[in-house]
Amino acid sequence: MTHYPGMTLKKEEFYSPLDLYCGNMIRIYNKDCLIYNCDAYTKEWYLHNMNLEQLPVSLKKADIKRFYQPVPPYNGYGTEPDSLGSVYNL
């Protein structure tokens, strides 16, 4: 990250191409962001201009939790398809 002093007292920070490579963590609006991949054009640009090969970072996929909610038994009010329609839309 490069600091450029200006006419104000505020410290200005800019990212350079050396900061934006796969696997690097950068801070954007006080949030840490991981650069995990880039497009083919960006990979080619980094290889030819920076002599840096951009390798994608593999991310661990979270397990999807699935829950089964059984359909309650028909209680006798209205028709059964009407009651099932209420169950599925709630």
What is the reported pLDDT for 36? 93
Give me the domain span that covers residue 20: 2-50
Is residue 64 scored above 80 in pLDDT?
yes
Do the domain assignments include residue 59? Answer: no
Do the domain assignments include residue 87? Answer: no
Do the domain assignments include residue 19? Answer: yes
pTM greater than 0.85 (yes/no)? no
Chain segment 2-49, per-residue pLDDT in tens: 555 555 666 777 888 888 999 999 998 889 999 999 999 999 999 999
9's tokens? 């007292």
What is the reported pLDDT for 90? 65
What is the reported pLDDT for 4? 53
- Split into its structural domains, the chain has a count of 1
